[in-house]
Structure 1
Amino acid sequence: MAGNSQRRNRRTSNKKGATVGSGGKRRRSLEGKGPTPPAEMRKGHAKQRMANARARQSAKRPVPRRGGKGSNELVVGRNPVVEALREGVPANTLYVQQFIDSDDRVREALKVAADRGGIHLMEAPKAELDRMTNGLNHQGLVLQVPPYEYAHPEDLSAAAFDEGEDPLIVALDGVTDPRNLGAVVRSVSAFGGHGVVVPERRAAGMTAGAWKTSAGTAARTPVARATNLTRTLEAYQKAGLTVVGLAADGDVELQDLEVLDGPVVFVVGSEGKGLSRLVGETCDLRVRIPMPGGAESLNAGVAAGVVLYEAARRRG
């Protein structure tokens, strides 16, 4: 009779009961998987295939980590990449390792890059990222920063004169720490300066580190690169600017300097060596910052901030 069979394990009802030992599999299947990733990160998507092809082509071209003129810079590692994106460091490509273990930093990097626009998202095998970064611990994230577009030194003074203002410029002599350069750019922006001049060689350039320290002010404060700093200062003198060098043994104290309300270029040397001989001889005046606390010197960022504040105060 139907439903009265003696065979073992025969189903006598169409109803299905709970599966023993599912281990929460069904519950987990109901959990959300988060926001949909960009098309470039979706496996099998046409945009991902195109991005992978571009990444392979780009990875075949050597990309220097630090660059001089006309070269890209790579920001490597999850924390550095996220911080660079947060600070608005210019970037053109974000490389993400294939099959990366995603965490909050990876998700934030993808979101910020997508929100900013203009940053290509490319997936690349770990071997390609290892080669691009010369074996550094990239943690699956690499940000490519394009070369900085430097102004010409004459552009800084010309722009100030065009606006009917007396130029206020800072030139750096032998400053090799990008963070000091970024701090100077930030001070120039804060106190109404018209730009910063750096030598082409043996000096810090506008790297991602300098951009981060400038706290975004590098986007509106021009940095010019001088082939020869001494000749650039002489050209400024011919244009009517007074060249003032900061030196611990300067002849004039800052509060007694009478040229602050006119066209002026402050030259700041490195904390250890100060101004080079030729640059020091080119200066019209050498000024010292009084330090009653007894410190022997200030780093370039702090020294520039002090003189720029005094100049801004005099100019009202």
Structure 2
Amino acid sequence: MKEEQKDFIIGRHPAMAALKKKDSNINKVFVQEGLKADAIQEIYTLAKARKLVVSRVPKTKLDNLVNGQNHQGVVIAIASYSYATIDDLFEKARSKNEDPFFLILDGIEDPHNLGSIMRTADAAGVHGIIIPKRRAVQLTSVVAKTSTGAIEHVPVVRVTNLVQTVKELKEQGVWIFGTDMKGTDFRKWSAKGATALVIGNEGKGISPLLKKTCDEMLTIPMVGHVQSLNASVAASLLIYQGFTSRGN
């Protein structure tokens, strides 16, 4: 069964992505009065075509709804962000006749990082993302806005225990690759076959127990003075190496 969380979709691109997806759980669309931009008109047209309630409201109303975030003149109230199941991820891969390619995010805390990772995951054909229920960012309006619509296309699973989940994935034939300062050069990595890539917390990396469950560790060589990368940047490099090695 899917879990739900109430929230808003903020910004023009995320709003259009949600309106174009038929199964989005939209309650109401708020549009800033007086705006004549083409994107705003398209959002209004899409909402009316779906017979949704559209309210033209002052900018102050939108500011209050989203606590001052940059809404670009549009806010959509949704019933929930739906979380998928592990079975949903396998089914998505089967529907495309592809080997599973999953991301496991171990304690990502910054919603902008999660949103950016979702954008890359969508672009590179990742079949889904697995996150923990605790000590990690969940699906929020900031994540949705940063993902610029990818949240509508990349299923996200929340689990209680990542270590147990990884063990279950391995039982289903999935190879688990982690990221660490010491490991195989990621440029030599092949993600062919059923694969899951683990990205660690922004500061602490992958937890020791989860690291022990990985089949192989990958590292990104660096020669500069700053020997670390932002979590979403590191994830992007690794995801695209996986994407390329799978023959895409």
TM-score tier (shorter): 0.7 to 0.9
Equivalent pair of 2:13/2:148 in contact (CA under 8 Å): no
Q: Please name the residue that 1:252 is paired with.
A: 184
Q: Distance in 2 between matches of 1:82 and 1:163?
A: 29
Identify the structure with bigger relative contact order (alpha carbons < 8 Å, sequence gap 6+).
2
Q: Distance in 2 between matches of 1:289 and 1:233?
A: 23
Equivalent pair of 1:191/1:308 in contact (CA under 8 Å): yes
Cα shift at 1:85: 3.2
Equivalent pair of 1:170/1:304 in contact (CA under 8 Å): no
Name stretches of at least 5 consecutive residues in structure 2 with no aligned partner: none
Q: Please name the residue that 1:274 is paired with.
A: 205
Q: Please name the residue that 1:22 is paired with.
A: none
Further displaced range: 182-191 or 157-166: 157-166
- Count of residues in correspondence between the two structures: 235
Equivalent pair of 2:4/2:83 in contact (CA under 8 Å): no
Asked if 1:188 is matched to 2:121, the reply is yes
Q: Which has the larger radius of gyration?
A: 1
Asked if 1:70 is matched to 2:1, the reply is no
Q: 1:104 to 1:133 in 2, by over 3 A?
A: closer
Asked if 1:292 is matched to 2:223, the reply is yes
What is the TM-score of this pair, normalised by structure 2?
A: 0.77
Cα shift at 1:169: 0.8
Q: Please name the residue that 2:80 is paired with.
A: 147
Cα shift at 1:86: 5.1
Asked if 1:233 is matched to 2:163, the reply is no
Q: Please name the residue that 1:221 is paired with.
A: 154
Higher strand residue share: 2
Name stretches of at least 5 consecutive residues in structure 1 with no aligned partner: 1-68
Equivalent pair of 1:172/1:267 in contact (CA under 8 Å): yes
Q: Please name the residue that 1:52 is paired with.
A: none
Q: 1:294 to 1:264 in 2, by over 3 A?
A: farther
Q: Secondary structure at the match of 2:54?
A: strand
Q: Secondary structure at the match of 1:293?
A: coil
Asked if 1:94 is matched to 2:26, the reply is no
What is the TM-score of this pair, normalised by structure 1?
A: 0.62
Cα shift at 1:312: 1.9
TM-align CA RMSD:
3.4
Equivalent pair of 1:244/1:284 in contact (CA under 8 Å): yes
Equivalent pair of 1:241/1:265 in contact (CA under 8 Å): yes
